[in-house]
Structure formats: structure tokens, C-alpha cells
Structure 1
Amino acid sequence: MKPFKAPSLMSRQPSTGSSGEPPAKKRRITGDREDSPDPEVQAVAAAAAVLKAKPIKRFQAPGMRKPLNTLTNPSSPLQDSPLETSTEGYFTVLWRKFTNKKHKTWDGDGVLSVVGRHATLQDISGKGMGRGATKGPLLIGSELSIGGKEVEVESMITKEDFLAGRSFLGSMKKSAPVPSLQEINEVSRVSIKAQAKHDKIAAAQKDVLRPKVTASKATMTGFKAPLMNNTVQAPKTDSVVPIPRHNPEGPNALVMKRPKTVPKGKHIVDVVIDPRLTEKLREHQRAGVAFMYECVMGMKSYDGEGVILADEMGLGKTLQTIALLWTLLKQNPIYEDAPVIKKALIVCPVTLINNWRREIWRWLGKERIGVFVPDDKKNRLTDFTKGRSYSIMIIGYEKLRNVQADLQKGGIDIVIADEGHRMKTAQNKSALAIKSLNTERRIILSGTPIQNDLAEFYTMVDFVNPGLLNKYPVFKREFENPILKSQQPGASAKELEKGEARSKELAEITSMFILRRTAEILSEYLPHKTEYVVFCRPTQAQIKVYQAIIGSPTFNAALGSSAISLELINVLKKVCNSPTLLLKKNDKGENATKPELLEIIPQGLLKTPGASGKLQVLDSLLHRIQTTTQEKVVLVSNYTSTMDVLANLLTSLSYTYLRLDGSTPPAKRQDLVDRFNRSPPSNSFVFLLSAKAGGT
């Protein structure tokens, strides 16, 4: 057999006719196979051409491998990935447990915080519910699974709202606007293609609304009932014109803010403070009355009707409160409605009851208002709760606990708690008694409302506006703990940012119902005050007694005991005031000073006339004041024994004086103050006052 030889292919020259047209195609005949190429022959020829064109490469051994490059683990806690640090989002969501029910309902609301692709779910009280990962950017309506819960995004919130904790207090007024693609990517410009893709995803998550009907003149015009000539009514000419109790256009008139809404068929009338009071109010007091009125009438942008007036002493908290009560007892912004309140309760320390009653009568008059002070012997509580003669009741904190059940039946419309900083614990019995009265209008008067303890501050805020700061466990977790952590020396940047945001939010919320002014605003009303600190040189007798005590064995032994050290400090203070104080006896008739100390001190030094340098300086000052001026003097001391020494000095110098200390009956204390203020210096030149008793 002959070996196979690939046939050679010859290129056929095209034949052209004289006319230049291509030759006509020949008709293909099935039996004619001479000119048609064989498919197998063509395949073999093609394989041969490939082998000639591409020679086969020989095998080559691989070269040496290069070492692997070191890469940073993105999940390492030492370095955050760029995705985690750059992409943040916060959302309000709905969540529920996994269920196979046909009709599913949501179990509650929550807050979802997303950093990078890591998501953290919290309930509405701030308690953590789980963590998970997100597959992509979240938009409104997105669904995902976090911590075994089904979650659906309801709305977006800003980072500022999340850090401030508004979502956990329920103070989110409205959902934050959906951020644009520029804000999400933190760039100034985006491409048209990226924006179109973002809009398409957002549009797919929105509910499809019904198409609007094309507006026409007929649809824009409201329906009007046809009228006949005999059914047309003439307009009323006797329309109601609200007339306020006092003239709002009068001189120095103080008009309260009008409510934004009015019941159907009612009219709003101006509430004007009584001109008898406004002519006595200063500018800061006018602002204080208006501030409290808006709070107790619910016109502020917070959920509550309580207020804290925290002005410093001397700014007229009592007068501002009396003006507010008188206005609420006599007027209502809704025309022809009953006054806002009918019964008011003032709770204060026992020592201030008579002061409150006297101030009310001073500014309003006895004939215009009835003030009830409960007394077991003279009156009955039903005279206030069921009678119409009394509109204001004044009672002490301690006695309130005994009559709270009877007051619940009478219906108290407003409560004023003077010195309200005493109710700084959640279990305070007086605070619980006031809360049992079921009145939403509560006012605290205090010169020191801001406490160092946030728990005490929360108690006061929750007393006037219950639930405004949520429950205490939530407040502690979302506000108290972050603020305290941010104040620690080793606080991180995130803790500082969160603590400052929570502190700012807390101040912003409470500023809506806490008003505090300092005594600096009185500088334009009062004469300039000058303070002098006088250093009195001790006498020789005081120096010897002082040195004798310091050199005694008792003093050296007391250096290791804190209790004895405090006792010796008091002994040295008595020596500085007057050595004769060491001879004073206590209530049991015993010497107040340790006997071992008295034994080492010469008795002659303790009984030496004029042994006190302070009393010598006081003697000179009193003599100069009495002989050259018409002024009177108030001497304040922390110890009644020192007041006894001062009284002996005044008696020996024939100076008239009045004395008020802890032994003075509460009913007589204000009378002593009034007598000193009204009498000339010849009748009461000096007023001896105990610091503790004078403060109440």
C-alpha cells in the first residue's frame, strides 16, 4: 500500500467574461463529487497546518518560590479596618422573634447601630439584644436578622440623635431625612450612574401609592348645598367678644402666652396678671412668672406640667409663686371656662408656714383669698377640701404624711414644694405623699437644685415631670454611666464624645422646665456690698492658753486619733473666740472641756477680763457704729455658747438686742425679725442670730 499523501490545493483563477460579470453558478448535481472536497481531508489538512504553525513547548522545571508577603488581619483589634471606621449608620427598627405564624406582628421597637458591616440591636430602653452582620447598605424597609430576631428598618436617625440618647427617651419628634448618596459616601460629587442606581433601590423600598386623580375645577371646588331664597340666614351680629379680667393694654401689663389650640365652639381670652402685683414685680420676676405659667399650662415642648424655680435666695421666689397661683385661681385662657385651678397646696418646712401665710396676705390681702393652715385644735381639714372659703393650704412636710389620705379625696390641682431639694431620694416619704395626690402640676422652689449626684437630680426631675427621663435604670444606663465614664482620666475618645453628647442633651431637656438666676441681677437694685475680713490679734492670755493646750500630753496623744483630734480643734476654736468658753458646762451640768486640759491651764487666765481679742475689736466697732451712724447690727454665730458671751458683752455695754436661736419657738421667730426691722436702733440695736436657726 502506498503511504498517505495530503492532496495539494490549487487556487482557481476566476474567469471573467468580456462583459466583466462573474460567471454563472453551476447547478450542483448529487452524483458529481469530483470537485467537492472531502470533509475528512479538510480536517486532516487543518490539523497538519496547526502542527506546523505552533511547535510543542518542552517541559521546564519551576523556578524558586518567593516568600509570602505579610498582610494585616482586618479583624485584628489592634487596627480597625477602613470600612469599620468610615461607614456608620443609625436606624429605628421594628423587631420580632422568629415565628411560623401566618399573620405575623412586631414585638417592639428598637435602635440599630451599624459600623461598617457590624450591626448592634438595642431595645427602646437601650438594652442590648444582639449583634450581627449586614450584607449591604440599609434603607427604609430593609429586612435582616440580628441576634435571633427579625428586624425591619423603619427610619433613619442622625448620629447626633443617637449619641444624645433621644431615641431611648422617646423624645424623637420626627424621623431624620434620608441621607443623600453624597452623605452616605462622604463625597462632594457622585456619578449619574451611581445616583440612578441609588434612586432605583430607594424607590423599590417605598410603598406604591394610588395614582392621583387629575385635578380639575370641579374637584378643586368644595361642595356647596343649594340654597333657596327663603332658607338664607342673615349673619349674626351679636358675636361673642372675649373680655379679659384685666386690661392687656394697661400700663406695665403682663400678658401670658396664648394656647395654640382651642376647643370647638370656644374662644381664647388674654390672661393678664393682676396689676396690683405687676407694679411690684421686677423684670426677672415677670419673666419667672411667665416661664412657670407656660410650664404648668403644658405649653412647653416636653411631656409634663411641672417646673423647678431655682433662683438664688433673695430673688423673690415667693412673690413669683403667689402671682402665678392668684392668676390660675382667677383666670382661664378659654373664655367663660372655670379657673384653671380651685385648690392649691403649699408644702414647706414648719418654720416657713407663717412666713408663707403672711406673704400671701401682704400681696393679696386677707379679704381677697382664704389661706388654710391645719391645726388640730382650731379647724378641720374638711374646711379646706370641701369648703369654698379656702383656696390655698399651707402644711409642713412631716404633717403632710398624716393627712395625705384626706387630701386625695378633696382634689388638689397644684402642689408647690418649698425647699424641694429635700426630696432628693426616691423613697422620700414626703415626695411619695405628694405623688399620691394625683396632680400633674407640681412646682419645686429651691436655691440649690443642682446636685453632684445625678441620681438625686433624676429624682427631682422625675418628681415634677414623671417619666420624662424614662425609668431610672434606663437613665442610669444611657445617661449617668456615659457621663461618669467621660469624666474619668483614662476615658477614650468615643467615651468622651458620647458623654459630652449625653450631658448636652440632658441640659437641653431640663432647661425647658428649670429656671435659675443668680443674685447678680440684683446689683442694679441693691447698694454695693463691701466685705471686710478683719484679723484680730490674740491677747496674751489667749496665747498662753493656746500654747498650754498644744504642749499638753493630751494634745500629743490625740494626733493619732481622728475623733479626739476633732474635739481638740473645737477646743482651740473656743480659745480663739474667748477663753471663758472653756468653763462652759453642757446640758448635763458637766464641763464640756476635758478635765485633763483644764488642769494644765491656769484658772486666772480663763477668768481674766478682756481676755478675747475678738471681743475687744467688736466692742470698738459697736461703739463706733452707734455713735456715728443710725445703722443696726446683726451678729451671727454657729454656737449658742458664743452667743451667751456676746449677750453678756451687750448687756455690760447697755446695748439693746434681740436673740433668735434654736430654742426660740417657731411661732415667735418671724415676730422677732419684724420687730427688729421696724424698731429704731434705740429699741433693738443688735440682733443675735444663730446660723442654723436663721437659715430656716
Structure 2
Amino acid sequence: MSDFLTQFKKLQPITIAKSGKTMTGKEIFFMIRTGENDTFIIPVDKKLKPVEADYHYYSGDTAQLLRSIDSIKEEMAFQISWDESEATDVSLSQNPHLLYQLIRCKNLIDEKGHAISVHPDTSVLQLVLKKFGRNIEPHFIIAAKDSSDAEEYDGAKKYEANKLYFSLLSDSFVLSDNVIYTIAPIGDNYQQLSYFTTRFTEDMLEEYLSVFFSFIESVQVTYEYYTVEFSDTDIVPTPSLSFEKIDADKTLFLRLVESYKGLPLDFVQQFDLSMVASLSLDQKIVVKRLAHLPIDEITNNLRKEIIQYAPSKAAQKDVYVEDHLFIIPEETAGPFLLQSLPSLLRTYQLIGAEKLREYKVKPMTPKLNISLSSGIDFLEGDASITLEGEQFSLQQILSQYNKKKYIQLSDGNRAIIEDGYMRRLERIFKKKDKDGKVKVSFFDLPEIEDLINEPLEGEAFKHHREVYEGFNHLAEETLKAPKLNAQLRPYQAEGIKWIKYLYDNNLGGCLADDMGLGKTVQTIGVLTLIYPKVKKPTLIVMPRSLLFNWQNELKKFAPQLSVYTYYAGDRDIKEAMKHQVILTTYAIVRNDIETYSKQKFHYVILDESQNIKNTTTQTTQATLVLHAEHRLALSGTPVENNLTELYSLFRFLNPTMFGSLDDFNSRYTGPIQRDNDKDTLLSLRKKIFPFMLRRLKKDVLKDLPDRIEQTLFVEMSPEQHDFYERRRQYYYNQVRQTIAAEGIQKSQFVMFQALNELRRIASIPESLSDGHIKSPKLDLLTDTLLEAVANGHKVMVFFNFIAGIEELSERLDQNGVDYACMTGSTRDRKSIVERFQNDPQCRVMLMTLKTGGVGLNLTAADTVFIFEPWWNKAAEEQAINRLHRFGQKAKVLSYSLITQQTIEEKIQLLQQQKAELFEGLIGADSSSSKHLSEDDINFILG
């Protein structure tokens, strides 16, 4: 075949022969006609008239459109004869191999005669799910046209609902706007893609995605801030017995099927699911494959068990099995169900058990009876279950169910209770005293009322119910104005109301707002409502990198609060306890826990509370023994990897909420993560919902300015500080000597060298110390960047030095974050920009200032970090404007990182206070350094 193709590439597409006569000057085109169900190729002439089937023609490019190489009759010609009929069109769905020849042809046109081109690069097909109120509208887009075409999405304007705006020529080729795009193969079901453009309600999202991933491959899915994760863990089915019917002669029809916990059997069977998608608490769409059982082997084993109960060998032959369906006469079915039910319930899930009443097997709905009174830490009392008038203690019914999987009633009936109901009983009534009394926590009351389907009565529950109902009325409450030097945005005022409500009711909670929404200012606002009435101090614990940012924020927003930073070597706990707010770090709490454990705090607040996600670390254990009347956590990523992190957080906030870690794992973690148990996940969500407030940027866009700027301050490590001071003093002396000997104008080069090296030490000391001195600024950048990525943001990071890109690249690799990188030496900038703009998995772009300043459109990002402050403020603005420009619909959050007590901090002051000197230092006119005075040198290097 390759030899023929080589020959045809040399031919000229100008000569056509008919009936042995040569006709020149005529050219054949291949028209692509799209329809609802298929796409066709039709050979036509310049007037768009179909070419008759007996034409011969000589062609270079068009020769490669042959239906198969066998149709070549001569080396230099071929017959247009599709399917040996008079029809001149060819179905692409029936002949998809033609497309690989078609895309090399230059004579392609549409039905109007307009030319069709072929995009040179492989493109990406994306499914974009956009929320409009309670509805979700799906749209498919081609995401690699160029750096500016696919970046916008406007569900109302650009795309029509319930419609594909392109044609699928095959599972690997897409026709859009007269351009053919090559995509990764999306599978044999590509013709059904249009079915997935139908609008649906938000509560159907998991079902929609499950069907989509079962039918369609290699399509990137984008929804809100969620990321898609394909799990290595399969969902293992449970063998189930579906009781289909019982005939008039009591013949039992029983089918063996596979069922999956949390998935309706008819849903799995109707759509022939192979994948299941679920939304996790940490904003991921987790896709798992459905595993299968050796169903034939299980069928054979089940048949052997059934026929054991046949009264005779003849009766054994009457048990009929075909396609996993058992037809069992009454004489065998009765003994089988009577004696095998316990073992069946341990091995199989029963479906349709309500049909077994004639065999004294009855599904029943229990009635929970409960009587509780207030205890010291728990509500205590009695609980029992009633089944059709027969009463059982909670201990009796749980014990019998766990042993037999059914409840034996006194009238001979065997009660089948829904397994999820029994699991809920175990979750709630987890504690018992020596007298068998049940103990439940305040946090279980909503689920108890849900189980009994009515409000709990009695004075013991009145206050608790009022607390829960109070959350629903917070929006109506008027907030007492905090004494803040800040204009609160509406959502920040609502956040302060929520925190204060928890505080007033002695409850702990986690403010889990997205980064940049002002968790710090909301917390400070609450503190201004508490002090000076309260005498005991508030302890705020944070990573070391945030200490000075908290100092600055408190000084800026609430200077009336007295603050002590308990951190340095001369820290004094007695002095600290005299202040209203104490700032400290997780490391200091861990190291000084004996000192801290003796103190009585009014409030303990954990910032970046994911630092206590591991229940076994010394840091977590230290925070748990802190004595405080009130507790609050702040975190943009409260759950990063698994549900145990959630347990650790609430163990600190509300210790009685979940019991022991083993209890939590057996009742929540296992069922949710191992069994994909939706009921248990819903129960957990309901339980924590009132105590976690999370707003994403998209939720409060109307309250945000177009651009938010924030400066993060970083303290040098002792080693970095010593290194910096040695080099600063060296250059300070050298510059003064040079000025004295040669004048200020000739000292410019030494001055530039000094500034350059000191900037590197302030940001990337690793690059000048063979990696021995680590950068605290890089630690802060990494932590903040990972939080942004975890919350679904796309991030730009601008550097001045290549060494910073290299160091951060290593950290992103270690954390499994996909990123793109661009420097001055990068050649193929277009493909890198396209990948960052259009690939949902590529979350971060690393770039030098010089690269980012010109000709790039990076509107996919909504968060930018300036790692080293740029002395030319206009250059910094130009870099940020790569994001914040026409086409950007998100609000842009910009962070500048400044190392304290270094030249970076002085340059920032210089920008604000001495604009003329600043321009002299960094301006293009080198003669401007003559404006430097002795005082200026002392300010910069002193």
C-alpha cells in the first residue's frame, strides 16, 4: 500500500478520462455531507454535481481517498465505483478507515462548496458541565484549536442547549466550522454522544456521569472546581437473589444477579454500566470500575445448595436453571428458605423479598422508641424497636441481626430489615453504659429524629432543637458591627455571624472558605466582638510562614487588640497570657506542650488546620490537649486525601461528635470509601454540614472586585539570615569603597551585582548554597499553591530567576501536580499555552517575567503568584495582565511574596516612598544612578 501511495503523491489532479477519451481541465472534489445519523463522502465536480460512476481520473491527493487499495485498477488510475452500484456516496460510519486517507486530501468541500481543512495537531474533546440554578447543561467543545479559540465558554450565547455544535465523522475525527480535528478515540459509542447534551437536574449528576463514563472514552470532563480522578479500586458487587414471582402453586422464581451497594439494580442493568462516578467531600469526581463476579460458578454452587433440600432425587430434577434463573417447586423452595435463610442473608443481598410472605419471610419497617434525658457529656436513656407490635431491646435486635441477618418473630415470621437502617442504628447508638442504657451525643439528634420521623419530645431536646433551627435563621439576624478597619463584603459579614453563632452555643466549627476570600479578617472580626469583655486570651496556631501575616492583619484591621507572638527564643508564657491574642506555630505548640497544657485559653483557633489531619502525629495530639472554652478551625482544604482527616479535625472541634477513630472508620470511612455507600456519605454530610462553612470564589463573585491583591510576608530561617547578613555587609562595604574611590556613577555595576545576589538569597538561597539553605518562601508558596490547586484553581507563578522554577518544579513533581513551564529559551510556546489553557489536568504554569510580558493570553488562570517582587512595577502589571484581560470571566487573585528584613521589603517601601530613586535604580537610563546619595545607599544596603 505504501508503494501505491508514494506513486499517487507524484500525480497531478488535473486529468479525467471517460469512455476511453481524455478530458483535461476538470477536477474532482470530495464533498462531506453530514446528516443526523451519518456522514457521507460524495465525489462531485466544480459545480457540485455528483461524478458519474464510470469516470477514471488521475489524482495525487484525491487518490488517497480510495475506499480500499484493492479498487486500484491500474498503477496510474482508479475507478470510482463504490459498492458496485450507481450510488456515488460512501458512508463514513461504515467505512471509518477512509478518514485516515481523507485527512491528507486537499480537495475537500462541504455541501456549499466551501473548502474543508485539517487541523495539524491532535485536539482534545471536552465535556463542560455548567450549572444554571438547579439545572446542569452539558456542552461538548474542542479544546485545542488555538490559544484563544477554546478558552471562552458561554453556555447562553455560543452553544445551543441539547445540541452538538460539531459533527463526529468517526470515533477519532470531528468536523467543526469546516475544520477536521483529530481527537483521542472516544469509543464505539461515539454516535450516541449527542444523547449526553440533554439538560438534567443537579441531583442526577452522579447518574449522568456514570452512564457517560460507561459509554464514552477519552473525553475530559469539567465541572465547577471538581477534578476527575480514576480510581484504581474497583467496586466489587454482592451476589444477590432477586425473587421475581411466586406462582399460584407456590413455585418460586429466583434469579441470581450482581448488585452494587448504593446503585439501584435496574439502573445498572438498564444502562449496562461499567463505570460509576461519585462526588467526594474533597471536590473530586471519583470514577471507579464495576468489577464482576464468577456468576456461572456461583450459579452452580447455589444450585447444589438448593437441591439439598429437595425431598427426593426426582424432585431435584424438577429444579430448573437457565441463564441464572431458578424455578423451584414449593416442596423444595419451602425447606430451602426456612433452613438456609441465615446463610443466604450472610452471602447474598435479597431483592424483592416482599414476595416471600407465603414462606413466612417478610420485609418490615421497624419503629424506633427512644426515651432520653440529659447527661454530663451525652444524652442517656432507653431505646427499643417494635416490629408488628412485638418489642425488642436495641441490644437484642442488633445482636440477632448481626448473627442471622433477620429477626425471628414469635408468630414464626422472619423479619427482613433494610441493612442501611440497621447500620444507622449502630452508628448512632454506639455507646452504652454498664446498665445497657444508650448514650448519644448532641450531634446525633437530627438523625435520630429522621429515624423516628417526628420531633423528639421533652425539655432535654428543646434547647438542642433550637440550636439546629437557629442555623436556618442566621441570614435574618442582624450582625453587631465588628470594630474593624475594613469594609466587610456581604459574605464576610455572614461568615462572622456564623462563627459567632457557634461561639455563643459552645460549638466548634471550620471556616473552609476558598483562598483569598478573607478567612483571617472574618476571624479578627469575631475577636473584636469578644474583647475586651473576655479576660482570658485567644491562642491562634498556624504554620510559621503565616506568623507575620497575622501580625500585619491584626495591626491593620484591629489595632485595639493586644497581641503577643509566642515564637522566638525569649518567649514568655506569663507575659503572653496578659494579652488578648497569642500567635504561635504548630511546632512551638508541639515542643512546648507541657507549658501550654497548663494554661486556660478562652478560644483556640487553628489556621491551616489541615496540619492536624494525621491523628497520630505529636502535633495533632498536642492540639487536642489544649484547654479552651471555644474552638475554631480555618482551612481552604479541610479534607485533602481521606475521611480520617475529617475525623481528626472534628475530634479537635467537637470531641463527642464521632467517638473513637475505630468507630469512625467502621461506621463511615469503610462504608464510604470501600463500599461506595451513598446513604452513609449522606449521613456524614448532614452531620458535619452545620459546622463547616465553605464558600468558593464562584459562589461570591458578585461581592468580589475584578482583581484582589495580597502580600504574603515570610521570615528568614536562622541559616538564611546569617548568610544574607554576611553578604549584605560585604556588599555594603564594597559599594561604599567603590563610591569613595571612583564616584557614584562608576559604582553602578557593583551596586547591580549586590542587588541581584541579595535578591537570590532572599528568595532561593538554595541556588547560592549548594542546596544547604532552604527557602521558607518556597515553603509558603508550595503550601498556598497546593491549596489553590486542591480547590480547582488554575495558577500562574512568575519568577525572576530560573533557579526558582527548578526548585518549585521538583516540589510539584513530588506532590503529583501537573504543570507547564515556559522560559526565555522555550521555542514551542504555542503548544505549551494551549495545554495550560485547555487541559483540565494541567493546573500550574511556571514562567519567567521576561517570557510572560509579551504576546500571551493566559485567561484560563485565575490565581497568580509573584515569587520575587519586580522592581519595575509596570513589568509586574504587564505579567498579571496576561490573566486579567479580555476573555477572563473569573476574578483574579494576585499574591506577592516578600521576605522580611531583606532587600525585597526595602524595595517595596522604595516603590511607595521614593519613586524617583526607584526609577533611577531600575530604569533603562543607566545615567540615572547618579541620583543615588549616601542616604540612598544606606537605605538600600544598610
Tell me the TM-score range normalised by the shorter chain: 0.3 to 0.5
Normalised by the length of structure 1, the TM-score is 0.45
Normalised by the length of structure 2, the TM-score is 0.34
Which structure dedicates a bigger proportion of its chain to strand? 2
Looking at CA atoms only, which structure, 1 or 2, has the larger radius of gyration? 1
